[in-house]
Structure 1
């Protein structure tokens, strides 16, 4: 049963929007220690990063040519680039901050998409996203552990 719960946390963390912000509380709710849940969520959330960094532009370029997905892809690109101001301004530091601050619409998925759309080099973007995600994971773990302690979960 523990292995199944670990996969639940890993897979939850790999989902867009949810990422570590949702996976760590899920792990704690499943009875894991905050550190165990955080490690699993962190690992799960970075799984999609290389895939996004290497493949999203060719996929988007292909989908932009289709009638079905053209509007959706343009909207996704526009929305992501609208959030990329600090990344454009501060480069990798901006990317780090964007991923590290666990707010809605930020995180590894959007950060990876922005890095790809801005042509940031993988060898710098990937570790920047990983370190930013580590900071976000620790922050969410601290908040989640505090909430569990306060409410006696």
Structure 2
């Protein structure tokens, strides 16, 4: 499999996202960094659109089952309760949540939060993009600094 495809898949994956794709690039730098970064950002942004556009359609099928509807309602109520204390932060909090490249934070989880909070795409997208930009910058600095250190030795 070629390098661009691996970078795209890792970036799209909910586990690795941009962290994994750029770390992969370090181990296999056959394309320029800017190209790896661009692929990573584009494919890491795809989950936002999948969640915001298609989750309703998928849910409409599963919500026909009473057990799933009960589970879903508890999840939505629980999520909204947890984020009520952060309500004053709203999308700024979302930006920071996506922007700090830690496990379980990123575009996948941030998109689910947007969906569960009922935020429209137009209101959410700028903050998701900003969070992705912050995460991309942090990971890029770490990856490129680490790569520079390894070339010294």
TM-score tier by shorter-chain length is: 0.7 to 0.9
Q: Return the index of the structure with the highest Cα Rg.
A: 2
What's the TM-score, normalizing by structure 2? Answer: 0.80
Aligned equivalent of 1:19:
17
Structure-to-structure mapping, 1:55-74, within 5 angstroms: 55-66=54-65
| Structure 1 portions without partners, runs of 5+ | none
Q: Is the 8 A contact 1:56 1:113 kept in 2?
A: no
Aligned residue for 1:30? 28
Output the aligned Cα RMSD. 2.9
Q: Cα gap change, 1:49/1:141 in structure 2, threshold over 3 Å: closer, same or farther?
A: same
Could you say if the C-alpha distance between residues 69 and 48 of structure 1 is closer, same or farther in structure 2, counting changes exceeding 3 Å? Answer: same
- 1:57-77 per-residue CA deviation (whole Å, 9 max, x = no partner) reads 442353244489679867876
Greater shift, 74-83 or 84-93, is seen at: 74-83
CA distance in 1, matches of 2:122, 2:90: 14
Following TM superposition, by how much is the alpha carbon of 1:114 offset from its aligned partner in structure 2, in angstroms?
0.3
1:88 maps onto 2:87 in alignment: yes
TM-score with structure 1 length normalisation? Answer: 0.80
Instruction: Verify: 1:150 aligned to 2:149, yes or no.
Output: yes
List runs of 5+ in structure 2 lacking aligned partners. Answer: none
Whether the aligned pair in 2 keeps the contact of 1:115 and 1:125 (CA below 8 Å) is: yes
2:115 matched residue in structure 1: 116
